[in-house]
C-alpha cells in the first residue's frame, strides 16, 4: 500500500509538471482553509483599514503567496487587468458556482472587481448564485468565512469576476 501511495504521488507530480497544472491543485481543503485562517484577517493589524486606506489586495496576495499560487502584484485594477482574458497561465476565469466548488475542494480561488478583491472561502456549501459564495477579505471591515454580500452591494455583484488557480 505504501508503494502504491508513493507511485500515485509521483504520477500526480509528473502530471502537474507535464500539463503545467500547479501541484497546489492537489492540496486539501483543510490546508486551504487553515492557510486563510492563519492570517487572522479580522484582528491582524496589517489588514485593518487605516487613514482611509484598505488592504484587500495585500491580504489576498499574502494568502496566495503562502499557498504558492501567487497573484499579480499591484492594485485590484492592475490585478484584474493582468487576469482578464486568461492572460495568466495559471489563473483561469470561472463562474461563481465553480468558484465556491473549487474553494470547497482546496483550490486557490478569488473574486475581484477593479476596486476590491476577496479570497473565496471553503465553506462546504453549494453556491447556486453569486450571493451564496463565502469569502474572507480585508477592506472597510475585515471578514472571514462570510457571505460575499458583505464585500459588495447586491447591485455590484454582477461585476465580480472569479478566478481559480490551475
Per-residue pLDDT of 70-127, as tens digits, reads 999 999 999 999 999 999 999 999 999 999 999 999 999 999 999 999 999 999 999 9
What pLDDT score does 16 carry? Answer: 43
With 0-12 / 13-18 / 19 or more C-beta atoms within 10 angstroms meaning exposed / middle / buried, residue 107 is: buried
Domain ranges of the chain: 22-165
What pLDDT score does 140 carry? Answer: 96
Q: What is the pLDDT of residues 137-152, one digit of tens each?
A: 999 999 999 999 999 9
Q: What is the pLDDT of residues 4-15, one digit of tens each?
A: 444 444 444 444
What pLDDT score does 12 carry? Answer: 42
What pLDDT score does 23 carry? Answer: 47
What pLDDT score does 1 carry? Answer: 52
Packing angle, helices 29-38 and 56-66, rounded to 10: 140
Q: Which CATH superfamily is domain 22-165 in?
A: endopeptidase domain like (from Nostoc punctiforme) (3.90.1720.10)
With 0-12 / 13-18 / 19 or more C-beta atoms within 10 angstroms meaning exposed / middle / buried, residue 136 is: buried
Is pLDDT at 55 greater than 90 in this prediction? Answer: yes
How big is the chain by its Cα radius of gyration, in Å? 16
Q: Compute the distance between CA of residue 162 and CA of residue 104 in angstroms, rounded to an integer.
A: 14
* Nearest to 120, CA basis, from 51, 57, 32, 53: 32
Packing angle, helices 76-83 and 56-66, rounded to 10: 50
Amino acid at each position: 500500500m505504501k508503494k502504491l501511495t508513493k507511485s500515485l504521488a509521483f504520477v500526480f507530480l509528473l502530471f502537474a509538471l507535464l500539463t503545467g497544472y500547479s501541484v497546489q491543485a492537489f492540496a486539501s481543503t483543510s490546508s486551504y482553509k487553515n492557510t486563510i485562517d492563519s492570517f487572522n484577517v479580522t484582528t491582524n493589524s496589517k489588514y485593518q483599514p487605516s487613514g482611509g486606506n484598505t488592504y484587500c489586495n495585500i491580504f489576498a496576495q499574502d494568502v496566495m503567496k503562502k499557498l504558492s499560487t501567487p497573484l499579480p502584484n499591484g492594485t485590484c485594477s492592475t490585478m484584474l487587468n493582468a487576469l482578464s482574458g486568461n492572460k495568466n497561465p495559471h489563473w483561469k476565469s470561472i463562474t461563481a458556482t465553480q468558484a465556491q466548488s473549487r474553494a470547497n475542494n482546496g483550490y486557490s480561488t478569488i473574486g475581484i472587481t477593479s476596486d476590491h478583491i476577496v479570497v473565496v472561502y471553503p465553506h462546504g456549501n453549494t453556491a447556486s448564485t453569486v450571493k451564496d459564495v463565502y469569502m474572507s477579505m480585508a477592506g472597510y471591515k475585515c471578514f472571514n468565512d462570510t457571505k460575499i454580500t458583505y464585500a459588495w452591494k447586491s447591485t455590484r455583484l454582477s461585476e465580480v469576476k472569479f478566478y481559480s488557480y490551475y
